[in-house]
Amino acid sequence: MGAYAAMIADPCNSVLAPGIFGDQEGLLARVKSTYTNPGTNGQTCGYILWSPDYHSGPINAGSYNVGPANLFCFSNADPSYNPLNEPSAPFGSDQINTVWNGAATAASLQEPATDLLDAELVADARTISSCMKMTYTGPMFTAAGQYCVVEGLPLNSLLANKEVGDPTYSPSVNDLFRLATRSGRFGTDTREAVSRPHDNAHIFRDKTIAPIQVGDSGNSASTQTTIGETQQPVFYGFAWRGIPGDTAHPIVFDLIKALEWRPRPVSGLTHAPPRAINKTSMVQPAVAHLDKTYGPSWTDRLASSATGLASQLAKTAFTGIATTAARQMIGMAQAAPLAALTLL
């Protein structure tokens, strides 16, 4: 149980062990992607949302994206603005270089497993666990703004299918803040959100399968796919608002996913015959163990519990807020100024 709980709670560092779904049918791997919002041009708010059970990536059609997608980002100057979804501006049709500078709708991104499944030797994969890290890398003395952790956002809440010809609008940044139960102020700490496994996580999927089909810009709006409507996956990630728009305030996002993948017959790899390791899936028992031991908050944490003396002292200096750890460290610094200066 401990190994499987660790895989779910710590997708970045845990040892990958077979059998979390009860059986083993493929090979284990860990993949990662990094995206940076430069935080310029007055874009003071935005979000990044991911449904990690899928492995799709949109098709670059030149000036816009189209096709299956499960990872979306958005940036704007108005936190109450709803990204559009209509034939002239399909949800997810913008590209990252466009949306970070402000756009009418959201952008779709390639998710961490897209390149792996693009390889000729990979047939499909299923997700074991995933996490998303958010790091503010701008100057601390001008740091401002608020973030929230978005958890369990249903597909219908992100993009609901409506009658043909009736435009749909996805939630605004303010809408996401109203739904979120955990929020905080931007600072020097890296924040990490961990996904809770979905009931359909055990299903192998190839790169063509996604919850949302991004529409062809100028011709059709984006819609939920048939599989998306049936399975109703959830999204998670971060939203932010109140970032100063006069200077650059970059935010870096690291997306990590652990998965089990199966090779194509033409790859030349020997296909591992399925073998039962556990009588049933260990996903729900592992999640129940995490909830009972750590509470629901295990899905949202600091990436490192030890932020260091320099970080604590800087926070106190620039915000005037001294935590217990900071006060202790300041006392140590006063007692041994030379050692403190060496650490800084």
Q: What is the pLDDT of residues 45-93, one digit of tens each?
A: 999 999 999 999 999 999 999 999 999 999 999 999 999 999 999 999 9
CATH number assigned to the domain comprising residue 200:
2.60.120.20
Q: How far is CA 4 from CA 18, 64, 129, in A?
A: 9, 40, 10
- Token pair 């690291």 is found at 254
Instruction: Please indicate, yes or no, whether residues 55 and 13 belong to a single structural domain of this protein.
Output: yes
Statement to judge: residues 54 and 165 lie in one domain? yes
In whole angstroms, what is the distance from residue 145 CA to residue 177 CA? Answer: 13
- Tally of CB atoms within 10 A around 118: 12
Q: Which domain holds residue 290?
A: 2-302
Q: What is the mean pLDDT of residues 219-246?
A: 93
Q: How confident is the model at residue 337 (pLDDT cuts 50, 70, 90)?
A: very low
pTM score, whole prediction: 0.86
- 143, 7: one domain: yes
Domain identity same for 288 and 310: no
pLDDT at 334 over 50: no
30 Cβ neighbours under 8 A, 6+ residues apart: 11, 16, 256, 257, 258, 259
Judge if 315 and 293 occupy the same domain. Answer: no
Residues 37, 251 contacting (CB under 8 angstroms): yes
- Judge if 249 and 218 occupy the same domain: yes
Residues 27 and 56 both lie in one domain: yes
Residues in a beta bridge with 150: 237
The total number of residues written for the chain in this structure: 344
How far apart are alpha carbons 120 and 111 in whole angstroms?
A: 18
Q: Measuring CA to CA, how many Å separate 284 from each of 1, 126, 140, 325?
A: 11, 16, 41, 36
- Round to whole Å and give the CA distance between 122 and 29: 12
Contact 47, 176 (CB under 8 A): yes
Tell me the β-bridge partners of 212. 69, 224
Q: Does 279 or 167 have the greater pLDDT score?
A: 279
DSSP 8-state assignment for residue 91: T
Q: Nearest Cα to 245, choosing from 76, 71, 20, 53?
A: 76
C-alpha 255 chain-centroid distance: 6
**Does residue 123 contact residue 264 with C-beta atoms inside 8 Å?**
yes
**Identity of the residue numbered 303:** A
> Are 286 and 336 in a shared domain?
no
Residue 78 has which token pair?
């108005």
* Number of domains present in the structure of the chain: 2
Sheet with strand 107-108: strands edge to edge: 92-94, 107-108, 71-76, 45-50, 234-241, 146-154, 182-185
Pick from 87-96, 104-113, 181-190, 231-240: least confident: 181-190
Query: Can you spell out the DSSP letters for 284-319?
Result: HHHHHHHHHHH-GGGGEEES-S---HHHHHHHHHHH
- Whether residue 338 is predicted with pLDDT greater than 80 in this model: the reply is no
* pLDDT value at residue 333: 38
Average pLDDT over residues 158-164: 72
Percentage of the chain surpassing pLDDT 70? 83
41 and 26 co-located in one domain: yes
Tell me: do 194 and 271 sit in the same domain.
yes
Q: How far is CA 337 from CA 122, 314, 322, 328, 341, in A?
A: 57, 16, 18, 14, 6
